[in-house]
């Protein structure tokens, strides 16, 4: 099979975001050349588990990728959109030690394993509302009607967004998120709208923080607002961290729930196994994370010239550590391309590793476990209608557009 | 209940000591204190059942995924 694989064709399709089953390409590249320089993407790609894990711990690869954004802007735009690049520079995912260690410490006090345990009853209540709403329809779209509302409600609850203003906040965060979500010259075109949203976001948080300082609550806006008022965080850092937590925790969790549902519907025997043995939900969620990792590529920038497996990496080069590919590495996972909900052990790398290891992992796990467990308890006979997975053309994320199901609900 | 820690994988981030302070400690130089008593790469030890919740929390927050409950 490997011999008649059309590598050139697959790479061209991949660079356009149109390779909807990227796993054969990942495997071919992993076995052939590591790191692999992609002209189409303008970055070094890493696919093997050991190398991705090593890359995530290597201080010569930095999270600060602001240089990459500045490089893509025209000199005039570099001045005009300075505030936007500064905003981005305070995102936890763009910081390096020692600043990163301090900011992460501020978030860690709140976004902890304990938070996930504390939020479980809220998650259970939310999911019951979502399922009750669904039951009056014979068909639903699992993306918009199931995978979307839960993480939105939970992340807004955690932050402390006033109820009724979730969509307004999300629209602003998404508009800002478009900017870091792109690379190359197109950044000049997306920057104006992102900067405009950033100005509105600052006003939005200023209003909320003022309210919370007057009347504190147990949420992240109160916490970071207090740190800012004590002078421990700048106003800019506070706005950046709050925006970042939303963007790090919403779409990723949506995709975990959606991808998990898709995997169960396309592997009916595994779905029946889960329905018969609901106690497998914990290991099932780990297998969703491994098999269709919501974040495929974790990006880094080369800090200093160095040689890796005989390839010369230059300071300023982009490196894409492909967690989605690493999670299919046969060297670590026997029958890596087999989806198996009882897989044990399963030390996947979907939440990253080392200093930037996902702070929201416990929360995301609980959300997915509760949502999917409760869905099949209520709708055990649901059937998928969408014929093939509708992957969106995005290389860095595994993100489905729609997933229609017939609920076959029996009272 | 038993906990297994892989001291080769562990990179002394100290998250376990925050989640489960009765089970894990960091020494004065910021290293996992279990390193003091052993040169083995894997250590398995008994933990009181009443510490299960914090042990489970430590397992899921470990940035290196170096912990497991047996
Ligand atoms: C299935 C859902 C999720 C996945 C797959 C995921 C994945 C990841 C990955 C791979 C990283 C590492 C990025 C890097 O190394 O540069 C990360 C970081 C992070 N995640 Fe998540 N995440 C998820 C859910 C969440 C949730 C729900 C939250 C918040 C409540 C969250 C908050 C964060 C934060 C704050 C960071 C930055 C940590 C740092 O840079 O120190 N994530 N996530």
pLDDT at residue B59 in the model: 94
Burial A27-37 (b: 16+ CB within 10 A, else e): bbbbeeebbbe
pLDDT at residue B32 in the model: 95
Burial A206-223 (b: 16+ CB within 10 A, else e): eebbebbeeeeeebbbbb
Interval B47-53 mean pLDDT: 95
The reply to whether A355 falls in a domain is: yes
pLDDT at residue B37 in the model: 85
Asked if the model's pLDDT at residue A136 lies above 90, the reply is yes
Asked if the model's pLDDT at residue A1 lies above 60, the reply is no
> Which among A57, A353, A362 is the nearest to B61, CB-wise?
A362
Asked if the model's pLDDT at residue A162 lies above 90, the reply is yes
**pLDDT tens for each residue of A214-253:** 999 999 999 999 999 999 999 999 999 999 999 999 999 9
B4 interface with A at CB cutoff 8 Å: no
The reply to whether A225 falls in a domain is: yes
Query: What's the topology of domain B2-69?
Result: Alpha-Beta Plaits (3.30.70)
**pLDDT tens for each residue of A304-362:** 999 999 999 999 999 999 999 999 999 999 999 999 999 999 999 999 999 999 999 99
Asked if the model's pLDDT at residue A301 lies above 70, the reply is yes
Asked if the model's pLDDT at residue A141 lies above 80, the reply is yes
**pLDDT tens for each residue of A248-282:** 999 999 999 999 999 999 999 999 999 999 999 99
The reply to whether A14 falls in a domain is: no
In angstroms, what separates the C-alpha of A23 from chain B's closest C-alpha?
A: 24
Q: What is the pTM of this model?
A: 0.96
Token reading at A266: 């396309």
Interval A54-68 mean pLDDT: 97
The reply to whether A262 falls in a domain is: yes
- How many Cα atoms sit within 13 Å of A18 on the Cβ side? 7
Burial A145-181 (b: 16+ CB within 10 A, else e): bbbbbbbbbbbbbbbbbeeeebeebbebbbbbbebbe
The torsion of the CA quartet A323, A395, A361, A132, rounded to 10 degrees, works out to -140
- Decide if A355 and B13 are in contact by the 8 Å CB cutoff: yes
> Which among A113, A347, A353 is the nearest to B57, CB-wise?
A113
- B 27-66: CB under 8 A from A: 53, 57-58, 60-61, 63-65
Mutation pick from B13, B65, B68, B69 vs chain A, by most beta carbons of A within 10 Å, is B65
Using 50, 70 and 90 to split pLDDT, how confident is the model at A299?
Answer: very high
The reply to whether A75 falls in a domain is: no
Interval A68-78 mean pLDDT: 97
- Determine whether the shortest distance from the Cβ of A249 to ligand 1 is under 6 A: yes
* Residue among A128, A67, A125, A135 nearest A96 (CA): A67
Average pLDDT, chain B: 94
List the alpha helices (DSSP H) in A16-148: 23-32, 49-57, 66-72, 75-80, 82-89, 99-108, 113-135, 142
pLDDT at residue A66 in the model: 97
- Shortest-distance Cα residue to atom 38 of ligand 1: A356
- Shortest-distance Cα residue to atom 17 of ligand 1: A358
The reply to whether A280 falls in a domain is: yes
| CATH code, domain carrying A338 | 1.10.630.10
Interval A133-139 mean pLDDT: 97
Using 50, 70 and 90 to split pLDDT, how confident is the model at A411?
Answer: confident
Asked if the model's pLDDT at residue A390 lies above 60, the reply is yes
For residues A329 and A28, give the distance between their C-alpha atoms in angstroms, rounded to a whole number.
11
Percent of chain A with pLDDT over 70: 99
DSSP A229-273: HTTSS-HHHHHHHHHHHHHHHHHHHHHHHHHHHHHHHHSHHHHHH
* Residue among A197, A5, A214 nearest A84 (CA): A197
Average pLDDT, chain A: 96
Q: Is the dihedral of CA A378, A382, A385, A389 positive or negative?
A: positive
From A247, A257, A360, A367, give the residue whose CB has the most ligand 1 atoms within 8 Å, as the site to mutate.
A360
Chain mean position to CA A396 = 9
Atom of ligand 1 nearest to the CA of A363: 27
ipTM: 0.89
pLDDT at residue A387 in the model: 84
The reply to whether A212 falls in a domain is: yes
The reply to whether A397 falls in a domain is: yes
**pLDDT tens for each residue of A76-126:** 999 999 999 999 999 999 999 999 999 999 999 999 888 999 999 999 999
Asked if the model's pLDDT at residue A4 lies above 80, the reply is no
For residues B28 and B32, give the distance between their C-alpha atoms in angstroms, rounded to a whole number.
10
Q: Where are the domains of chain B?
A: 2-69
- Residues 6 or more apart whose Cβ sits within 8 Å of residue B40: B7
- Number of structural domains chain A divides into: 1
Interval A127-131 mean pLDDT: 98
Token reading at A408: 């076959």
Q: Which domain holds residue A116?
A: 81-294+331-406
Using 50, 70 and 90 to split pLDDT, how confident is the model at A3?
Answer: low
Atom of ligand 1 nearest to the CA of A256: 1
């Amino acid at each position: 099979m490997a011999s008649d694989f059309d590598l050139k064709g697959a790479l061209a399709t991949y660079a356009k975001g149109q390779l909807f089953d990227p796993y054969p390409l990942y495997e071919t590249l992993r076995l052939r050349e590591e790191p692999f320089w992609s002209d189409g993407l303008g970055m070094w790609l890493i696919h093997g588990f050991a190398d991705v894990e090593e890359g995530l711990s290597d201080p010569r690869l930095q999270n600060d990728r602001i240089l990459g954004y500045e490089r893509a802007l025209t000199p005039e735009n570099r001045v005009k959109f300075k505030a936007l690049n500064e905003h981005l520079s305070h995102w936890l995912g763009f910081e390096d030690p020692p600043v990163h260690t301090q900011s992460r410490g501020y978030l860690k006090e709140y976004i902890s394993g304990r938070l996930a345990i504390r939020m479980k009853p809220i998650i259970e209540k939310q999911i019951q509302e979502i399922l009750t709403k669904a039951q009056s329809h014979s068909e639903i779209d699992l993306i918009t009607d199931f995978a979307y509302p839960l993480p939105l409600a939970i992340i807004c609850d955690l932050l402390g967004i006033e109820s009724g203003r979730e969509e307004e906040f999300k629209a602003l965060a998404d508009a800002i998120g478009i900017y870091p979500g792109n690379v190359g010259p197109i950044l000049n075109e997306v920057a104006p709208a992102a900067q405009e949203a950033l100005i509105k976001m600052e006003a939005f948080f200023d209003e909320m923080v003022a309210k919370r300082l007057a009347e504190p609550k147990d949420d992240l806006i109160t916490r970071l607002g207090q740190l800012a008022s004590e002078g421990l965080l700048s106003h800019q850092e506070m706005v950046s961290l709050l925006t970042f937590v939303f963007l790090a925790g919403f779409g990723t969790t949506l995709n975990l729930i959606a991808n998990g549902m898709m995997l169960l519907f396309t592997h009916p025997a595994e779905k029946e196994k889960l329905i018969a043995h609901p106690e497998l939900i914990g290991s099932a969620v780990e297998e969703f994370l491994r098999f269709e990792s919501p974040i495929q590529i974790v990006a880094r920038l080369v800090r200093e010239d160095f040689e890796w497996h005989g390839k010369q990496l230059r300071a300023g080069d982009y490196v894409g550590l492909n967690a989605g590919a690493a999670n299919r590495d046969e060297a670590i996972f026997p029958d890596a391309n087999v989806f198996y909900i009882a897989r044990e052990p399963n030390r996947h790398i979907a939440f990253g590793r080392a200093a930037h290891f996902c702070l929201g992992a416990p929360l995301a796990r609980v959300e997915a476990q509760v949502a999917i467990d409760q869905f099949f308890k209520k709708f055990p006979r649901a059937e998928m209608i969408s014929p093939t997975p509708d992957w969106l053309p995005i290389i860095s994320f595994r993100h489905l557009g729609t997933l229609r199901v017939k609920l076959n609900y029996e009272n | 209940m038993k906990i297994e820690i892989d001291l080769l994988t562990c990179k002394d981030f100290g998250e376990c000591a925050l989640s489960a302070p009765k089970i894990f400690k960091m020494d004065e130089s910021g290293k996992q204190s279990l390193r003091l008593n052993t040169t083995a790469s894997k250590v398995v030890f008994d933990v009181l059942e009443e510490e299960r919740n914090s042990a489970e929390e430590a397992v899921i927050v470990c940035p290196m995924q170096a912990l497991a409950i047996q």
